[in-house]
């Protein structure tokens, strides 16, 4: 892919489901959507102390009720476990354990995670 500078005019390229705005380094990806499942507007977190619910929800792609929510599916919910663990590792906690409490089964209507920031040990 060619390099672009900030002086490059804004060019929109449609590449499959992605739209690239070249020149301003803006990459817009659609939210992962499944064809079935309820729409959820936020996840619930149990045990998080170092990172706020709001920060974790934004990391997962939830930006409040006005954004339309995300259609819940098992793949989206399970990918959230990995994303949350990586966020805690970047923050410097060495052994985070994230468990999917709700949202991993096709019939689930909510999304919930349990977070043990020290790998299950007590602080």
* Residue 79 scores a pLDDT above 90: yes
pTM: 0.68
- What would the mean pLDDT of 22-42 be, rounded to a whole number? 64
- Give backbone dihedrals phi and psi of 59, rounded to 5 degrees, phi first: -60, -35
Which domains, from first to last, does the chain contain? 1-30 (no CATH), 34-116 (3.10.20.310)
| Measured CA distances, 122 to 33, 38, 44, 80, 118 (Å) | 37, 35, 22, 24, 7
* Residue 113 scores a pLDDT above 50: yes
Q: Cα–Cα distance between 22 and 61 in angstroms, integer?
A: 23
| Rg (alpha carbons) of the chain, rounded to whole number | 17
Beta carbons of 98 and 113 less than 8 angstroms apart: yes
């Amino acid at each position: 892919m060619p390099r672009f500078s900030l002086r490059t005019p804004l060019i929109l390229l449609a590449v499959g489901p992605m739209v690239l705005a070249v020149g301003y380094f803006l990459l817009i990806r659609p939210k992962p959507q499944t064809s079935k499942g309820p729409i959820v507007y936020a996840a619930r977190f149990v045990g998080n102390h170092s990172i706020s619910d709001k920060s974790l929800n934004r990391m997962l792609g939830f930006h409040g009720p006005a954004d339309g929510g995300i259609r819940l599916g098992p793949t989206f919910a399970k990918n959230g476990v990995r994303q949350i663990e990586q966020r805690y590792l970047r923050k410097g906690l060495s052994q985070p354990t994230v468990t999917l409490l709700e949202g991993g089964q096709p019939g689930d209507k909510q999304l919930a995670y349990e977070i043990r920031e020290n790998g299950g040990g007590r602080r």
